[in-house]
Amino acid sequence: MSIEAKEEFRPKIVAFCCNWCSYAGADLAGSSRLSYPADVKIIRVPCSCRVNPMFILRAFEKGADGVILCGCHPGDCHYSTGNFYARRRMTLLFSMLDYLGVENGRTRVEWVSAAEGVKFSTTMNEFVAKIHSLGKNVRLGDIRCKD
């Protein structure tokens, strides 16, 4: 009788992408046939500043191992200034998570324009590899919310 091999760790990654740049960037990555891991689940938001710190915590609570926020490059926001506010908020939130002892690198912000399909794909590959090396998210999980 053989002992079944342990299932390989597949990280769950949530990517919040803004409608105007990063979501289009992801589209371009797809239509250019660039590959990125299927572990990345994209959630489209109207603007990067739509992302409330609670969304990110909620994603972790529900079992995400990493959360990445993508938006237009600073200065290129469709709504002119949204990503400037998002940038400040995320800096503070990430610093707070670090302060609480959550591993650095589970959260990330990347600016991806609609023309940067390549950047989108490399960013996602990098991020998934990083989360893979960090392993399962135990410090921010909530057992009741997982399936």
Interface residues toward other proteins, by CB under 8 A = 53-54, 57-58, 60-61, 74-75, 81, 84-85, 87-105, 107-109, 139-145
CB of residue 90 vs other proteins: minimum separation in angstroms? 4
26 or 109: CB nearest other proteins? 109
CB of residue 48 vs other proteins: minimum separation in angstroms? 11
Rounded to whole angstroms, the Cα distance separating 115 from 57 reads 30
Are 84 and 77 in contact by the 8 Å Cβ rule? The answer is yes
Rounded to whole angstroms, the Cα distance separating 84 from 119 reads 20
Return the number of other C-beta atoms located less than 10 Å from residue 2's C-beta: 4
CB of residue 144 vs other proteins: minimum separation in angstroms? 6
28 or 97: CB nearest other proteins? 97
- Which secondary-structure segment (H or E) carries 53? helix 53-61
43 or 57: CB nearest other proteins? 57
